[in-house]
Amino acid sequence: MELSMLLIMILLLIFVSTAFFLFRISTSPKAMEDIPGCLGWPVIGESLSFLSDFSSPSGICSFMHKRQQRYGKVFKSFVLGRFTVFMTGREASKILLTGKDGMVSLNLFYTGQQVLGPNSLLQANGETHKRLRRLIAEPLSIDGLKKYFHFINTQAIETLDQWSGRRILFTLKVIGNMIMSLEPSGEEQEKFRANFKLISSSFSSLPFKIPGTAFYRGMKARDSMFAMLDSIIAKRRNGEVIQQDFLESLIIKHSKGTNTVDDENKLTDKQMKDNILTLLVAGHDTTTAALTWFIKFLGENPAVLEQLREEHLQIKASRNDGTDLTWSEVNNMPYTNKVLSETLRRATILPWYSRKAAQDFEIDGYNIKKGWSVNLDVVSIHHDSETFPDPEKFDPSRFDAPLKAFSYLGFGSGPRMCPGMNLAKLEICIFIHHLVCKYKWRALEKDDSVQPTLVRMPKNKYPVMVEPL
């Protein structure tokens, strides 16, 4: 039965892909004639090479570098069902990320669009995007994060005390509590975590909503997550439960029991739930990946670890006996922030930013047509030897002096710069403080491969053995 279903899915994929390719091939390739590059094989294009290079030790950089040597900074390809123009460089970064005059919009894969929902911040553009970002920004602001500092600090300590070395659940516990006061353990946390895992894994899956597929499981998990949210929202509205969390602030902002917006400071239920899910996905996967790479690079660079540990031990020594990490201390870790910046440069958690041309425009002498998929290659920007000499070397001193604008995109740039940037920095700095002050670790495996997913992560998730100092 499973084999028959698999064959049906493969045949369906071939049929749909072929039809899509034949439909698009009549226009896009002709319009792209002036842009160098290769569209690859019929139907699959260069997708196999793209995926193969994506999971290599150097990740997408390998795919880009080979074609940039052949075609230059701008080239065309057909990957993952899309005719795409790939670009790199500071000028391309400035144009695509600032979105000047509404030239481009965000370009999610179909499965990502369905999982996050039509009201997600990541799908909004223009004034709608500005409004949604304003309405969900409060708990992610500096003042909003101060309320959760003690909880994040406590969770970091407890996580490290029980850490097996093979998995970090810290970031999911933190964001789950911030958003809807979810307890760090228990049946509700387990249900939440199980649904979240299915949703996250379906984000870039094949777009077939058939029982047994990742997309089907992800959409079912989305329904389950939303049922959970509906129950919590109902209890909040009835006054059964009152919490000082992100969800409570959103309930206050939108009109009770309606799905029509009649006020600039109100959200509908659908907008609220889609954006809670968006913050969960965006706030967990990227921060977990960044923390994993941070620890991996520290383990591989003893001199950097020694200097970072010295900064944190001095912080610890300067406070009175028995007192804990403070808000002011976590905001005064200059070397730690340089190590974090170098981690995000070297690992490049989000290897490219995908945009869709909202109008015709020109870049680097090439005419880009409305509707084209345009991908900014961030890995190549972060490995530009003119800006970052010996780019494969892990060297936090690169950030001793300010860099030119758009040469470093650790948290993106422009109107879509990561809204959770301050939360991610806070989580990582707190966790690293307790880790380097109390523990040492060693890698259990040597593997430089990268997971072939949208968020770059060590393929083996960097398992370590943690011991007290």
Q: What is the CATH number of the domain that holds 95?
A: 1.10.630.10
Does a structural domain hold residue 279?
yes
Does a structural domain hold residue 14?
no
DSSP assignment letter at 122: G
DSSP assignment letter at 391: T
The alpha-helical segments, DSSP class H, found in 26-99 are 28-31, 47-54, 60-71, 90-98
Measure the CA angle with vertex 271, ends 269 and 267; round to 5°.
Answer: 70
Does a structural domain hold residue 29?
no
Does a structural domain hold residue 76?
no
Does a structural domain hold residue 368?
yes
Q: Which residue segment(s) compose the domain that 266 sits in?
A: 88-468
Q: How far apart are CA 44 and CA 47, in angstroms?
A: 6
Q: How far apart are CA 325 and CA 438, in angstroms?
A: 13
Q: How far apart are CA 64 and CA 59, in angstroms?
A: 9
Does a structural domain hold residue 116?
yes
Q: How far apart are CA 214 and CA 205, in angstroms?
A: 6
Per-residue pLDDT of the chain (469 residues; tens, 9 = 90+): 344 444 444 444 544 454 444 444 444 555 567 888 888 887 778 878 877 776 566 666 778 888 888 998 889 888 767 788 888 888 888 888 887 656 777 777 777 788 888 888 888 877 788 888 887 777 677 887 888 888 888 888 887 877 654 444 445 566 666 676 666 566 776 787 788 778 877 776 667 788 888 889 989 989 998 898 888 888 888 877 667 677 776 776 664 544 454 566 677 788 888 888 888 777 777 888 898 899 999 999 999 999 999 999 999 999 877 678 999 999 999 999 999 999 999 999 888 888 888 888 887 778 888 888 888 889 889 988 999 999 999 999 999 999 998 999 998 888 888 888 888 899 899 999 999 999 898 888 887 777 766 778 887 788 888 888 8
- In the numeric block, which tokens belong to residue 466? 């943690």
Does a structural domain hold residue 79?
no
Does a structural domain hold residue 383?
yes
Domain tally, the chain: 1
